Amino acid sequence: MAATRRLSFSVREPSPSPVVPSSRHTLGVSQENLSQMLGTSRQSINKVLRDWERNGLIERHYGSISLCNLDALKRLSMPG
C-alpha cells in the first residue's frame, strides 16, 4: 500500500522540531496535516495509523502521534 510506505518513510527519522521531549517520540501533527504532507487522503492515513496502533507501533492522540516502536517503523520504510 502506497500510503503505508510513504507514512513509514516520513516517520523513519523524525525531525527535532515537532518532537515533544519524552521517553517516546511524539510528533505534533494531525492526520489531516500528514495526509497533506504525503499527498494522500486523510482516510488512507487513518487506516494505516489504526493498523500501526493495533500492532503497538504508535499511539494516536488528538493532534499528535506517539512513536512507540521506531525500529519497526524504520523497517517498514525499507525496500523489500
Select the more confidently predicted residue: 39 or 3: 39
Q: Which amino acid is at 53?
A: E
pLDDT digits (tens, 9 = 90+) for 20-58: 444 568 999 999 999 999 999 999 999 999 999 999 999
- The residue whose grid cell reads 505534533 is 28
Q: Mean of the per-residue pLDDT values for the chain?
A: 82
Q: What distance in Å separates the CA atoms of residue 78 and residue 73, rounded to the nearest whole number? A: 9
pTM: 0.71
- Structural domains of the chain, ranges and CATH numbers in brackets: 2-77 (1.10.10.10)
Q: Per the structure block, which three cell numbers stand in for 33?
A: 496535516
